[in-house]
Structure 1
């Protein structure tokens, strides 16, 4: 009986191996088909994006071409010597802003700076800051007094030492 069981088990193992191999081959084939389809879609999408980008670049190039600044040889800073009628009509130069907008911007900047200055003054003149300044000034005055006293003592010692050395020289010459 064992002799009959071995070929059956062996045949079953070979059959299972064959089924696993076929299953793996089918899975590999389906994976390749899926990968090829994804690659084809990616290539198609890439070509569409390239075409769209070329169209955008062309549109930008067309829009930028007429925006080139004109070279004016008659540009002057002042209208001195011209008739008043011509001077009253100010030319509109590209990139300029309206007078009202300019005044508004200047006024806003002035208000912001004035507000900043007022805040700084209010903070600088607060009681805490004044007290700290007073403390620092007193401390600096004390330090400078101590320094002056020590400098005066040192100068006095040096002068006295110089006086003593001068007396000894005179005594040595007389003997």
Structure 2
């Protein structure tokens, strides 16, 4: 592959990435506008309910039926937890969730890399590596001394066996 093709390929990939980010930004802004409209509608409803001259259509608190207390089952053998209710998202909401999740994953990855490459972390790793190298060196020396000691003991035993055979 020539350098011209490599440059064109890199530019194409960057262009595609920019277009994907732009599409994600547009969808995010649309969902933000939708959320702002919903928030404004909720504020209007809340203002209508808080208006002192406004008649409430719901019954007073004293006449509401009492709600039975809910029993919580902490543990139980043989009981299966109910399946969670499935949520259906339309395409823009799904894309928004996927985009947010991927942004969070990328941000956490970048934070981990940044923290892993921090000078304090590098120094701690260097210190631990030095300790491990020293420990391994001591272990190799001890193993070598043990092997030499065993070899000498075998050689002495072989010499002693030959002298017994010769006599």
* TM-score (structure 2 length as normaliser): 0.49
* TM-score (structure 1 length as normaliser): 0.47
Larger radius of gyration: 1
Bigger helix fraction = 1
